[in-house]
Amino acid sequence: VYSLDGLLVFGLLLVCTCAYLRKVPRLRTWLLSERRGVWGVCHKAAVIGTRLHVAVSMSCLLMAFYVLVGK
């Protein structure tokens, strides 16, 4: 997380993980019901991941290509 690359990878992984957890019914009510604090960040990341799923998936593919080939 000490470089811009690491920060972008961390952000994309957070958004993708929270969006995946939002699709699981038991975890959705347990983890993503809070809208404040640390769990609120997870809730907001899940909302971003589900609403912008095309842009997030394209960003993940581009970042994976960059990390594997460009770096």
The pLDDT score that the predictor gives to residue 13 is: 93
Domain count for the chain, please give it: 1
For residue range 13-66, list pLDDT tens digits in order. Answer: 999 998 888 888 877 777 767 778 778 888 888 889 989 999 999 999 999 999
Domain hosting 35: range is 2-70
- Would the pLDDT of 67 be above 80? yes
The pLDDT score that the predictor gives to residue 71 is: 73
Helix then strand then coil, in percent of the chain rounded to 5, is 85, 0, 15
DSSP assigned state of 52: T
Q: Are 32 and 39 in contact (CB under 8 A)?
A: yes
Alpha-carbon span 12 to 1, nearest angstrom? 12
Alpha-carbon span 46 to 17, nearest angstrom? 8
DSSP assigned state of 34: -
The pLDDT score that the predictor gives to residue 30 is: 75
